[in-house]
Structure 1
Amino acid sequence: MQGVLDLAYITVFFLVLIRMASFVASCALFSLPGIPALVKAGLSFILAALVTPLVMPAVTELPQGVWEFALAVLGEAGVGLGLGLVCTLVFNAARMAGQLLDFQIGFAMSAVMDPLSGSMNTLLSRFFFFLTLVLFMNMDGHHALIRALVNSYRLVPLTSAGINGEITLLMIRIFTDTFALAVQICAPVVAVLVITDLAMGLIGKTAPQLNIFQLGFPLKIAAGLSVLAVLLPALTSLFKYMLETLQKDLLLFMKGLA
């Protein structure tokens, strides 16, 4: 009897660990390459060890056989990856806003390979991303993420996750909201830059002897960064709203899986 209980406990622990590890590997907060892999694995193991005693009493049926166990592992990995993808999409709104601003200001030519994201990023995109991370940590968001992950075992019990049309529509809405948030973040600065372009075009028509291309590049940088510095407190409030919507999206995603 004791051996059966131990085997059931180990099975539950392994399934919990799969969901935890998948979330840590895909979430933008925990999946930074600067974090050693051993730290990520240790965090997943510790969280699984703490959560398993809470999950164990609610488990009524465990997978029987190799195929059922393999399907259960794939299901738990899918739940963890889905939760991490929702978090990453929300964080990418700040990065996309920075890339749009860099393109308008002229910083797009300074794009370099960012080892943290593994992609080509520009100056303001990295600035916005790290600003979002700082605000997220300041709002105790990392603890909120862990609480949401623990609650996922109550809303989506082990081996019970399923995909339906609501999940597809929810992911499409989150994806579109990501672009909408990115446009809202950069819209004021882009508006000023468009006015600056129009003004330089008028100057070029009235004074053809001026080199507008040479004059416009530093002028757009100065105008864009000045407006960004003035609007940064308001943008910070928008970032906080973006992070608050993350918790709502995670809750809706878990209810959809259930």
Structure 2
Amino acid sequence: MLNYEAVATFILIFVRASAFLAAGPLFFFPSVPRPFKAFMAFVLAVVLFPVVPGVKQDFPGGLLGFALAAAEEAGVGLVLGFIASLVFQSLAVAGQIMDIQMGFFMANLFDPAMGHQATISSRFLYLLGMVLFLILDGHHVLIAGLARSYELVPLTGAALDGTTTLAVIKIFARMVALAVQIAAPVVAVVLIIDICLGLLGRTAPEMNIFMLGFPLKIALGILTLSVMVPLFGVVFRAMVRMMEQNLYTVIRGLSG
């Protein structure tokens, strides 16, 4: 005989896992086939099903109540996936800030892998962060965070209040500040170049400062970025720990 409580529990687990993967950093790329995303969510649901407490069969409102419960689980998964992806979005924003200063911002290209317009440094830092994320076993952190969410936020037991919303806003602001900090060395070098070119333009007005400054900013900006790349391992290790802390902060907030 079919156990309806077990079926309902599995569906809700699958919905939260699917939303988490859809909004998370690993399967964010539109180029990843949707059947593969669904298959990975199904595998996670199968693995987590034995350890997740079940739900009662009787939902208020019948089928409509179950649909609302599924929507609630999708919301929890989307929030957690969004928080996890902010680390990578901070890298993309840092790359855009660098490109604005170096003069690469006009070279926006549609990136089919990311699904939107992206600059050169933005794509480079995002893909570099993805490689470092896998090397540092960040995907294990994501899976552990998702599994922990079922323990702290039981199925149909999420509570969204002002404290959780404020925590999400603070995390978002922290990621923006992190993007500015990552881009700060390139911005500082380009600012020094602008100051020097301004002084040179005052002392030698006959020189074409614009034509001289454009390749100079690009060359020194790329040189500064190449010096920063070996340090990204240490920086990104701290960012993975920050992502883990952010996930558990939001999970505790959703648990009420």
Q: Normalising by structure 1, report the TM-score.
A: 0.94
Paired amino acid for 1:221:
I
For the residues of structure 2 that align with 1:120 and 1:105, how far apart are their CA atoms?
A: 18
| Post-superposition offset of 1:151 | 1.4
SS of 2:207's partner is coil
- Give runs of aligned pairs for residues 90-101 of structure 1, distance below 5 A: 90-101=87-98
Matching of residue 68 in structure 1 with residue 61 in structure 2: no
- 8 Å Cα contact 1:185/1:235 also seen in 2: no
Could you tell me which residue of structure 1 aligns to residue 137 of structure 2?
140
- In the alignment, what sits opposite 1:129? 126
| 1:59 matches 2:54 | yes
Range that drifts further, 229-238 or 177-186: 229-238
Specify the SS of the correspondent of 2:165: helix
- 8 Å contact kept, 2:29–2:115: no
Moved more, 238-247 or 191-200: 238-247
Residues 128 and 63 of structure 1, relative CA distance in 2, 3 Å threshold: farther
Distance in 2 (CA, whole Å) between partners of 1:112 and 1:213 is 24
| Pairs within 5 Å for 1:4-19 | 6-19=3-16
Question: How far is the alpha carbon of 1:235 from its aligned partner?
Answer: 3.6
Q: Following superposition of structure 1 onto structure 2, how do residues 1-258 of structure 1 map, counting pairs within 5 Å?
A: 2-3=1-2, 6-55=3-52, 58-59=53-54, 61-64=56-59, 65-258=62-255
What letter matches 1:49 in structure 2? V
- The gaps in structure 2 that reach 5 residues or longer are none
Q: Deviations over 1:147-177 (max 9, x none)?
A: 1111111111101001011111111111101
Q: Which amino acid aligns with 1:249?
A: N
Identity %: 44
| Structure 2 residue identity aligned to 1:207 | A
Q: Deviations over 1:71-127 (max 9, x none)?
A: 211110001000111012221000000000000000011111111222211000001
Deviation at 1:199, TM superposition (A): 0.4
Which consecutive residues of structure 1, in runs of 5 or more, have no partner in the other structure? Answer: none
Q: Distance in 2 between matches of 1:61 and 1:155?
A: 18
Which runs of at least 4 in structure 1 moved beyond 6 Å after TM superposition?
A: none
Aligned 8 A contact 1:63 1:72 in 2 = no
- Per the alignment, in what secondary structure is the counterpart of residue 143 of structure 1? helix
| Residues in 2 aligned to 1:203 and 1:145: alpha-carbon distance in whole angstroms | 52
1:181, 1:242 within 8 Å by CA — same for their partners in 2?
no
The alignment covers a number of residue pairs equal to 253
TM-fit CA distance, 1:63? 4.4
RMSD of Structure 2 on Structure 1 (CA): 1.3
Q: Secondary structure at 1:113's aligned position in 2? A: strand
Aligned letter for 1:135? L
